[in-house]
Structure 1
Amino acid sequence: MPEPELHRFPCGTCGSDLRYAPGERFLQCDHCGATDALGPPSPWDRSALEELPYAEAAAGDVPEAAIEETEVISCSSCGAQVEFNPDEHAAECPFCASPVVTDTGTHRHIKPRGVLPFTLSEQDGSDAMKTWLKGLWFAPNALKKYARSNQKLQGIYMPYWTFDAQTETPYRGQRGTEHRRTVGSGDNKRTETVVKWRPVKGHISHFFDDLLVIGSKTLPENHARKIAQYDLSALEPYRPEFLAGFRAEGYSVDLPSARIEADRQIEDGVRQLIRQDIGGDRQRIDDMQLRVSDVTFKHVLLPVWIAAYKFRGKSYRFVVNARTGQVAGERPYSPWKIAFAALLAALGIGLIVLFSR
């Protein structure tokens, strides 16, 4: 059984752990400032980003070289499985701020084939989060105080699946052309829209490239969707050096479950292409025979800065895309501020009514 990969690289000068410097191509020692350069990816490394056949993997035929095992801690509150430094004995879960004791287990999984390294520093992520927090209406004062504090963010690589697939879809439908006509007379005169339909049929042939499906259940779906604007053409072949100083979450959405979500995206995409092909003012799809073939996939790691905040016993998360600065988050509301605003609104309406008499 292979040893768990710890993603730790000692400094050649002082022996402290090096960390990957966001936006750079070197590891850096926070203790003595020494750096260790990472060379550019070679053309031969690009082959490491090639997808694996889905059918073989779904049947359990995954090459042993494509499997790895890592040490993780499972949070009992939110279910996150996150890599932790084995020297840590207690910590907070970065996803829900619940205290956890690092009684580690192992996570055997399909190895990442690609990684998007961090380009935004922790300070960049903190600035983006503070801007978002300060713009919230009716936020509790405790949250405003949190925005002004220098709370540390956690750098996490989130697990994602990407899928490629070829599709062929013959379809039958109807194209609607709108016409405006005037009906009635006098006070009953009005304009209405009439749609004239005619049957159409066609065939859509389309290749879907890098459909993105999150491999984690720890982020709400709307959060994951809001920050998922990643440029996958910038993926680097997986190297553990990119993870130095960061944590990585193990995937909790397995490959077959991710395929279900990919199929949903494919069907939605094909329906949109059919409507574009039908044209006209309105479209109806009466029948479509979607055929999906040559499905391939890969496991990739994408970077976020994350902070968790507890308010009145409930956890709230703030997530920053560590490439673009997009922010998604949950937020509490102050019932006192809402009540005060409602009171002011009622007084304002009352004054308007009083002086309008």
Structure 2
Amino acid sequence: MTNLENNEQPESVKIEDTEVNQCSSCGGNTVFDPSSGALKCPFCGSEKEIEKTQENAIEHSFLQALEKDDHSWDDEKRVFSCKNCGAETVLDKDKVADFCTFCGSSHIASSENHAGIKPALVLPFQVPKEEAIEKFKVWINKRYFAPSSLKKSYQLSKITGAYLPYWTFDSKTRSNFVVRIGTYYYVTVTRTVVEDGKSRRVTEQVRKIRWRTEHGNYNEFFDDVLVKASRNVASDLIHKIEPFQLNALVDYKSQFLSGFLAERYSIPLKEGWNGAKAIIDRRITNGIERQVHGDVVQVVSVSTNYKDITYKHILLPIWISSFHFNHKVYRFLVNGQTGKVSGNAPISALKVTIVSLVAIVIIAILVIFFGGQ
């Protein structure tokens, strides 16, 4: 039977919210409610609105950040490290975590590492836990190549809402490039063709390419190039639940994290910029190919100057969990804003074989039918 009883927050995670998040009606600890976008008391149902502002979308100097060791989040948070997978979770100073969001291990200890750069913006959860679970059920029922018994015997583990860290980068760029440009031209060629023992002369047009080399400049401003700052969630799973609608980002406030976890970035700022630069370089190459006119364009070399590099640290929401089937663990993610699901699921070799055989038979029938005409 499918086990959904483990979806509640485990007792091993002790959360003692600060007074600012206490319910004004009963004194209970309030948590962020994705459905209403407000702080909600789980005991009496009272809600307290969180003012959403977009005034803190300030770009910070990348070069200045490299010169100083920014620990601006340390006043609010402390770090817990998983000894099993290495993931680091950021929690309020008065909270204690005893399990890892990313691998489920109970080998969690308070870390001496700094919380680091404080987020500027956050994308609050919009998908409640119950909806995330329903989205997962729909997803798993569509795993057509999974074993038939999967839908009845899988066991769903704890599902946890977590904010993943991202960097965004802006940069002005000026590039000098060298390209080879090919222009098509045609020549008339006459050749001898032998058919059924008889030869005949055939004249045809053959396409050739005339090449020339050109130098030029390409300028572009890149805005909010998004780079994942987590090593603990597989990129292929993350890419499948993207995109996030970043126009819904609001100023970071600790209330949005109440009842949820946040991962400390494991990809530092400088390494994040290297990832952004790789994205920018690919876009520059594509831009040069569009800018230069020719039938064929080959980019030989590009030299780029990056100027006024700025960054922001932002948090994006996901539901993360796993399910067990035949003594194996399969992870899945749910986009906390859109509800899009990605994950790994077992594959039935028998189903794959049957589908392959059916496809081969259909192709053979089509070949016989059309080949005989």
Settle same-fold status: TM greater than 0.5: yes
Distance in 2 (CA, whole Å) between partners of 1:312 and 1:84 is: 34
Query: Identity, % of aligned pairs?
Result: 32
Query: Does 2:310 match 1:277?
Result: no
- Tell me by how many angstroms 1:107 deviates: 4.2
Question: Would the aligned equivalents of 2:156 and 2:323 in 1 still touch at CA under 8 Å?
Answer: no
Partner deviation per Cα, 1:216-262 (whole Å, 9 max, x = no partner): 11112222233341232321111001111111111111111111111
Matches within 5 A, 1:133-144: 133-141=140-148, 143-144=150-151
Distance in 2 (CA, whole Å) between partners of 1:50 and 1:6 is: 31
Q: Cα 1:175–1:258, aligned 2, differ >3 Å: closer, same or farther?
A: same
Distance in 2 (CA, whole Å) between partners of 1:59 and 1:116 is: 29
Q: Cα 1:316–1:83, aligned 2, differ >3 Å: closer, same or farther?
A: farther
- Provide the aligned C-alpha RMSD in A: 3.3
Question: Would the aligned equivalents of 1:169 and 1:204 in 2 still touch at CA under 8 Å?
Answer: yes
Alignment correspondent of 2:63: 55
Partner deviation per Cα, 1:278-323 (whole Å, 9 max, x = no partner): 1333211123221111111111100111112244554322112222
- Tell me by how many angstroms 1:180 deviates: 6.4
Query: Which of these residues, 93, 105, 111, is aligned with residue 111 of structure 2?
Result: 105
Partner deviation per Cα, 1:56-108 (whole Å, 9 max, x = no partner): 1112254x6465563343233332212468776744x3323x33144333541
Query: Does 2:170 match 1:168?
Result: no
- Tell me by how many angstroms 1:117 deviates: 0.8
Distance in 2 (CA, whole Å) between partners of 1:331 and 1:300 is: 30
Q: What SS does structure 2 have at the residue aligned with 1:168?
A: strand
Alignment correspondent of 2:126: 119
Matches within 5 A, 1:31-70: 31-41=43-53, 46=55, 48-60=56-68, 62=70, 65=72, 68=75, 70=77
Q: Cα 1:287–1:7, aligned 2, differ >3 Å: closer, same or farther?
A: farther
Distance in 2 (CA, whole Å) between partners of 1:103 and 1:286 is: 51
Alignment correspondent of 2:260: 246
**1:11 alignment partner AA:** C
Alignment correspondent of 1:95: 102
Q: What SS does structure 2 have at the residue aligned with 1:290?
A: strand
Alignment correspondent of 1:208: 222
Q: Cα 1:104–1:192, aligned 2, differ >3 Å: closer, same or farther?
A: farther
Distance in 2 (CA, whole Å) between partners of 1:314 and 1:191 is: 61
Query: Does 2:239 match 1:232?
Result: no
Alignment correspondent of 2:39: 27
Q: How many residues align?
A: 340
Matches within 5 A, 1:321-336: 321-335=335-349
**More deviation, 309-318/290-299:** 309-318
- Tell me by how many angstroms 1:276 deviates: 0.8
- Tell me by how many angstroms 1:29 deviates: 1.4
Q: Cα 1:143–1:19, aligned 2, differ >3 Å: closer, same or farther?
A: farther
- Calculate the TM-score normalised by the size of structure 2: 0.79
Distance in 1 (CA, whole Å) between partners of 2:189 and 2:217 is: 39
Larger Rg: 2
Distance in 2 (CA, whole Å) between partners of 1:226 and 1:178 is: 40
Q: What SS does structure 2 have at the residue aligned with 1:99?
A: coil
Question: Would the aligned equivalents of 1:306 and 1:320 in 2 still touch at CA under 8 Å?
Answer: yes
- Tell me by how many angstroms 1:132 deviates: 2.4
Question: Would the aligned equivalents of 2:121 and 2:314 in 1 still touch at CA under 8 Å?
Answer: yes
Question: Would the aligned equivalents of 1:200 and 1:278 in 2 still touch at CA under 8 Å?
Answer: no
Distance in 2 (CA, whole Å) between partners of 1:131 and 1:280 is: 49
Runs of at least 5 residues in structure 2 that lack an aligned partner in the other structure? 1-14, 195-201
Alignment correspondent of 1:195: 209
Question: Would the aligned equivalents of 1:155 and 1:304 in 2 still touch at CA under 8 Å?
Answer: yes
Query: Which of these residues, 127, 130, 133, is aligned with residue 137 of structure 2?
Result: 130
Q: Cα 1:266–1:348, aligned 2, differ >3 Å: closer, same or farther?
A: closer
Query: Which of these residues, 224, 246, 267, is aligned with residue 281 of structure 2?
Result: 267
Runs of at least 5 residues in structure 1 that lack an aligned partner in the other structure? none
Query: Does 2:27 match 1:15?
Result: yes
